[in-house]
Amino acid sequence: MILDTFKLDGKVAAVTGGGRGIGQAYAVALAEAGADVALVDVIGCEETEEKVRAAGRRAVSLTADLGAGREAAQRVMDDIVAAMGNLDILVNNAGIIRREPFTEHSEQNWDDVISINLSSVFFLSQAAASKMIAQGRGGKIINVASMLSFQGGILVPGYAASKGGVKSLTMLMANELAKYGICCNAIAPGYIATENTQPIRENAERNKAILDRIPAGRWGTPEDLMGIVVFLASPASDYMNGYTVAVDGGWLAR
């Protein structure tokens, strides 16, 4: 049956930035599809853990600074495998944004955003891929890109650069890891109602401009992203590799 190919029974997934918002939605979706879930965040993940366990799956959470470099990323992956037994799926969801005009954007803001949004994706994926290769049963790595992987945006140079990098890195990873049975794809959320986008939604003029361009006529919700993460994590997408999927209410179509 086709629906069986979407099941994640017996799989272990790791989700960064899983404490709230989109990351929490990803974690819950994977759990409801049958996966046990390891959560990684700088904040507490107790609420997400409860939701994963309510779906009948195991949950563990790790507190980590994902901007701390390669060794820190390796420790995160080691701790996940020690706690869960193996690793089949990695969702690189953690991300930050800093808003400043291009000519005023500080070096610190640039470095912080690139470190979390791009460098941590590289280092965590390196460590996860090594685990998956050693296990010998393939795997799925799902990066989180953005509309700004396709567009330039305004006032967020570090974010735009990092998300463009995520899209390209995803393609490179697909090229190099496919021979090991590891599929690497990315999700590009549109305008989703989260804490990151709250300042935009509170700006009446900017909010109206955004809604006027979205064919769906509304902001997305984290729940709108649950189906795509299950698809990309499951056998249903085994012949899909190196692609960035926009879930944007039609934004890019305009």
Catalytic residues: 159
Structure tokens at 181: 């049975």
Chain CA centroid to CA 81, Å: 19
Q: Could you give the CA distance from residue 30 to residue 212 in angstroms, rounded to a whole number?
A: 33
Could you tell me which of 81, 140, 92 has the C-alpha nearest to residue 116? 92
Are 238 and 174 in contact, with CB atoms under 8 Å apart?
Answer: no
- How many alpha carbons lie under 13 Å from residue 120 in its C-beta half-sphere? 30
Are 86 and 135 in contact, with CB atoms under 8 Å apart?
Answer: yes
- Please report, for residues 34, 45, 132, 231, 235, the alpha-carbon distance to residue 239 in angstroms, rounded to integers and kept in the order given: 21, 33, 18, 12, 9
* Residue given tokens 């039609």 in the structure block: 250
User: CA 233, 237, 240, 243: dihedral to nearest 10 degrees?
Assistant: -50
Could you tell me which of 140, 122, 105 has the C-alpha nearest to residue 26? 140
DSSP symbol at 1: -
At position 186, the amino acid (one-letter code) is: A
